[in-house]
Chain A
Amino acid sequence: MRFVSFRPAAGVLATTALLLIATAPSQAQTRAETLRYVTGASVNTLDPNIPGSTRESFALSMSTYDRLVAFGRKQLNGKWVFDLDTITGELAESYDVSPDGLKITFRLRKDAKFQDGSPVTAEDVKWSLDRCVTAPILGKAQLLTGSLTSADQFKVIDPLTIEVTLPKPDKLALPNLATVYPMIINSKVAKEHATADDPWATAWLKEHTAGSGAYVVETFKPGEQVMLKRDEAWNRGSANKPAFFKRVIIQSVPEPATRANLVERGDADIVVDLQASDVQSLEAKGKLKVISTPQYNAITFVSMNNQMPPFDNVNVRRAIAYALPYDDMFKAALFGRGSPLFGATWADGKPANGIYPFQQPVKLDLDKAREYLKAAGLPEGFSTTFSFNVGQASTAEPMAALVKESLGKIGIKVDIQKLPDAQMSTQINEKKLPFYTEGIVAWLPSTDYFYRNFYTGNQRWNYSSINNPDLAAIAQEARFEPDKAKYEEAGRKLNAMHFDLMPQVMLWQPNQDAVMASSVEGYTYEFHRQVDYRDVSRK
């Protein structure tokens, strides 16, 4: 007998091999003018104001819409980052703040046009800002932090001038107008699609754009990819010329190892969400450009519920702060890629400055931790759970194991609990978790903003559920403090209280590792922690 039946099998192999051969590089010419950005997340709406919109949607809207003003950029340790203190005009040619700080007048660029060719007028600006503070959308809560709450505050002076009135001189009013939400929409187009139920056209704008931004949306496949085409008439960039790349492709690639392969092979140009281990090996190979910026507006915590025993006892919280194996955690979770918020030395026992986040003078010291436990009346330790969410497992899992091991040495028995993301956020919101790790980010990182949003009130972002009237009062007062020295003093006070009360333990600020082809230039770390496609160009 002979094996005739081998034939089909061999045939399959041959066809497979044939099919795999030769990928045609026919698009070489346009490739250089195209930016291909790959990400693990996806764009889910063209209007970032829609509740539930993703960070990728935020980044996209920066390129499809303009705002009145934009953040400048500065160098931090040799890397470009956004600069909260430099606000430049985007659609506004210039702006004036009145001496009492209650009025901001914006003069619009005369040459600014929407993507359909119609001019940008003060009417459009008013409609867009009204929408932001009136419609049930995300912009409302954001603009509130800058004392912008009502449509009455926006007044059209003439077709190219708009005036914003504030109830108090709020230093966050202007920066707020540079954030993602208060984008300027072509009101004529949007109104055509408004309905009685939906006067602000939220449903239509979710799937369509009507802006004046640098890029026009060519195709939008939610969860898969977005293709952008350059608007040749756009000139709001620094050099009065359109954005560099003719096309931008934003593509969802869920598997981090595949993203690393793509950028290493040169098929993708830039990626910001690789695993720390991949970044390290790509950096070591030296073929690609790796720009690591500490996310200076983000913090990773180990949080304790200050209202729940035993963590309602300050000595227990201090014991935890001295029992965490910081250095090992930092290495295991992030491969040391970030800036630590532990291990400071305060010469006179006082904070070095009034800036939050700051490095606390805590380090692994088990004897000290045992003393604090004794002072808390729990010399034998106790049992608790330590939770983290599945989405952060790659960093939080090794961390949790180290926490468990180290706390075990002082008699605290820790059960590790890994929760699906939605479940974790629900439990945090309901204040049911005793001990867990989480991260925060603030778009407008000022000391009072951090303390007001993350350390006061019975609300979700107050992870530690701390309820200290003194701290809340100082933070609230600092918000409207015009005097820089007094503001600094308030910051120092708050930081000293933080160390004393130890509501939660700040661990570090993880790096944003942007990995890009060596030809890509101009990458800037932005407040929304994504790539602003207008920043980058190719050599």
Chain B
Amino acid sequence: MKTGLGATMVRAGRRLLSSLPALFGVLVFTFLLMRVLPGDPAVFFASGPNAGKEEIELIRKQMGLDKSVPEQLVFYLSDIGRGNLGRSMMTGQPVLKDLRERLPASLELTFTALLIALIAAVPLGVVAALRPGSAVDHGVRLFCALGVCVPTFVSGLLLIYVFYYLLGLAPDPTGRIDVFTSLPPSRTGFLSIDFLLAGDFEGWWAACKQLILPAVSMALFVIAPLARITRASMLVSLGSDFVRTARSVGLSWHKVVVTYALRNAILPVITIAGIVFSTMLGANVLVEKVFSWPGVASYALDALLSSDYAPVQGFVLLMAGIFVLVNLIVDVCYGIADPRVSIE
């Protein structure tokens, strides 16, 4: 038997290889799906007041739609091979450039939202588990139910209405940064990090203020699953033998609940958090729209509505890639945490 780390690496490599056919399948499937959908992008984009047949043909040629579908597929695949995702008609930019600029915006928002959700959900779940059936437990349940029931765009609009419109505390909800603030040199694409690297704390503050409302409205929606899972696994953990033993030997409350019970209960929460993260990244389109957040999801939706093939294909490929990556990371983590997983 190989050493633990080596085995994990081999496993990871094998997993990566086995995900390639799936990625290829996604690629071809999205490509065909876009072509099967009714709606001719050339006609849509040739909508100037005088655009006639000639303009439509021109755009069709520009988008490569004058060729047969198999030919288009071959060209598309060879382009992908060279790292070219095509050009968006909507923004007029190469899709790769658009995605590279927009992905950090989405990631920053999703990470922040997940962080807020975890910070709020874990204590709520623990509190509920400590007094099951009490008023506190019901209060947490009500809060979670409300969070799930209110769609993110409604909570987003409500937050804007209260904090921006009525109270004037939040900055205007128009994207990642106040239009009057100058941007830091782009290193990571995450504004909150770039500002820190540039040593511009005022800018960092401005970026954080823009981030809070959208992140909170996204977090509200995912607090429920996280809190419920925390509560359930805390209940199991609190009722287990080792906690009873710890209590009986008179360990402090803090040590019993936090060190023994919570540490054992947190594993399923992390698994769920991974799933929640993947879903949020693709599904935060409404929040992005409401807060004019320049992220990938709203970009893909706009492209889909106007049948702009290249961005939609690029977006699906990106999401598939991220899913594969997240799964891989989870896999590697499992292997490290529990060596038994590596034995085949």
Q: Are A9 and B174 in contact (CB under 8 A)?
A: no
Identify the closest chain B residue to A444 (Cβ): B49
Identify the closest chain A residue to B288 (Cβ): A254
Contacts of B101 in A (CB 8 A): 221
Cβ of B229 under 8 Å from chain A: no
* Minimum Cβ distance to chain A for residue B196 (Å): 15
* Minimum Cβ distance to chain B for residue A217 (Å): 14
- Complex CA distance for A422 and B180, rounded to whole angstroms: 36
- Complex CA distance for A461 and B123, rounded to whole angstroms: 61
Interface centre among A31, A262, A267, A425 (most CB of B within 10 A): A425
Q: Are A45 and B126 in contact (CB under 8 A)?
A: no
Of all A-B residue pairs in the complex, the 5 with the closest CB atoms, nearest first, are A422-B307, A422-B39, A423-B39, A52-B45, A222-B91
Q: Are B92 and A262 in contact (CB under 8 A)?
A: no
Interface centre among A9, A52, A254, A258 (most CB of B within 10 A): A52
* Minimum Cβ distance to chain B for residue A321 (Å): 26
Interface residues on B, range: 35 or more
Interface centre among B89, B123, B130, B173 (most CB of A within 10 A): B123
Can you report 24 residue pairs joining A to B where beta carbons are below 8 Å apart? A1-B253, A6-B123, A12-B119, A23-B170, A23-B209, A27-B180, A31-B180, A44-B90, A52-B92, A138-B55, A142-B49, A207-B92, A222-B98, A223-B294, A223-B302, A225-B175, A227-B179, A252-B292, A255-B289, A257-B157, A421-B44, A422-B307, A423-B307, A427-B38
Contacts of A262 in B (CB 8 A): 172, 174
Cβ of B226 under 8 Å from chain A: no
Cβ of B24 under 8 Å from chain A: no
- Complex CA distance for A506 and B68, rounded to whole angstroms: 40
Cβ of B124 under 8 Å from chain A: yes
Cβ of B168 under 8 Å from chain A: yes
Q: Are B49 and A8 in contact (CB under 8 A)?
A: no
- Complex CA distance for A390 and B38, rounded to whole angstroms: 14
Identify the closest chain A residue to B124 (Cβ): A9
Q: Are A255 and B292 in contact (CB under 8 A)?
A: yes
- Complex CA distance for A2 and B256, rounded to whole angstroms: 12
Contact residues of B: prevailing secondary structure: helix
Q: A51-B58, A265-B164, A423-B39 are in contact. List 14 more A-B contacts (CB 8 A).
A: A1-B253, A12-B120, A19-B209, A20-B212, A45-B92, A138-B50, A221-B294, A223-B294, A223-B302, A258-B160, A421-B306, A422-B40, A425-B47, A460-B43
* Minimum Cβ distance to chain A for residue B285 (Å): 10
Identify the closest chain B residue to A144 (Cβ): B50
Contacts of B54 in A (CB 8 A): 140-141
Q: Are A142 and B50 in contact (CB under 8 A)?
A: yes
* Minimum Cβ distance to chain A for residue B81 (Å): 23
Contacts of A221 in B (CB 8 A): 101, 294
- Complex CA distance for A450 and B216, rounded to whole angstroms: 51
Contact (A9, B172) CB under 8 Å given A258-B290, A459-B53: no
The interface bits of chain A over 438-481 (1 if a CB of B lies within 8 angstroms of the residue's CB, else 0) are: 00011100000000010000011100000000000000000000
- Complex CA distance for A442 and B49, rounded to whole angstroms: 6
Within 8 A of A (CB), among B53-91: 53-56, 58-59, 62, 89-91
Interface centre among A45, A251, A422, A429 (most CB of B within 10 A): A422
Q: Are A267 and B44 in contact (CB under 8 A)?
A: no
Q: Are A422 and B292 in contact (CB under 8 A)?
A: no
Q: Are B307 and A19 in contact (CB under 8 A)?
A: no
Cβ of B279 under 8 Å from chain A: no
- Complex CA distance for A257 and B291, rounded to whole angstroms: 11
Interface centre among A4, A45, A268 (most CB of B within 10 A): A4
Candidates B58, B92, B305; contact of A136 at CB < 8 Å: B58
Q: Are B52 and A265 in contact (CB under 8 A)?
A: no
The interface bits of chain A over 131-166 (1 if a CB of B lies within 8 angstroms of the residue's CB, else 0) are: 000001010111011000000000000000000000
Contacts of A255 in B (CB 8 A): 157, 289-292
Candidates A6, A12, A27, A421; contact of B127 at CB < 8 Å: A6
Contacts of A426 in B (CB 8 A): 38-40, 43-44
Q: Are B55 and A141 in contact (CB under 8 A)?
A: yes
Cβ of A5 under 8 Å from chain B: yes
Interface residues on A, range: 35 or more
Cβ of B93 under 8 Å from chain A: yes
Candidates B38, B62, B130, B258; contact of A51 at CB < 8 Å: B62
The interface bits of chain B over 158-185 (1 if a CB of A lies within 8 angstroms of the residue's CB, else 0) are: 0011011100111111110001100000
Q: Are A206 and B92 in contact (CB under 8 A)?
A: yes
User: A residues engaging B (CB < 8 A)?
Assistant: 1-6, 8-9, 12, 16, 19-24, 27, 30-31, 36, 38, 42, 44-45, 50-53, 136, 138, 140-142, 144-145, 206-207, 221-225, 227, 249, 251-255, 257-258, 261-262, 264-265, 267-268, 390-391, 420-423, 425-427, 429, 441-443, 453, 459-461
Contact (A223, B46) CB under 8 Å given A2-B253, A19-B212, A255-B289: no
Contacts of B163 in A (CB 8 A): 20
Cβ of B299 under 8 Å from chain A: yes
Cβ of B298 under 8 Å from chain A: yes
Identify the closest chain A residue to B125 (Cβ): A5
Contact (A258, B173) CB under 8 Å given A20-B212, A421-B306, A425-B44: yes
Contacts of B92 in A (CB 8 A): 44-45, 50, 52-53, 206-207, 222
Contact (A261, B160) CB under 8 Å given A8-B123, A16-B216, A222-B93: yes
Candidates A6, A23, A427; contact of B169 at CB < 8 Å: A23
- Complex CA distance for A262 and B173, rounded to whole angstroms: 8
- Complex CA distance for A347 and B116, rounded to whole angstroms: 70
Cβ of B2 under 8 Å from chain A: no
Contacts of B91 in A (CB 8 A): 42, 44, 222-223
- Complex CA distance for A155 and B126, rounded to whole angstroms: 83
Identify the closest chain B residue to A260 (Cβ): B165
- Complex CA distance for A301 and B219, rounded to whole angstroms: 44
Contacts of B62 in A (CB 8 A): 51
- Complex CA distance for A251 and B294, rounded to whole angstroms: 11
- Complex CA distance for A461 and B47, rounded to whole angstroms: 10
Q: Are B48 and A20 in contact (CB under 8 A)?
A: no
Cβ of B26 under 8 Å from chain A: no
- Complex CA distance for A2 and B90, rounded to whole angstroms: 57
Q: Are B119 and A51 in contact (CB under 8 A)?
A: no
Contacts of B119 in A (CB 8 A): 8-9, 12
- Complex CA distance for A20 and B37, rounded to whole angstroms: 44
Contacts of B47 in A (CB 8 A): 425
Contacts of B302 in A (CB 8 A): 223
Cβ of B254 under 8 Å from chain A: yes
Candidates B44, B52, B124; contact of A422 at CB < 8 Å: B44
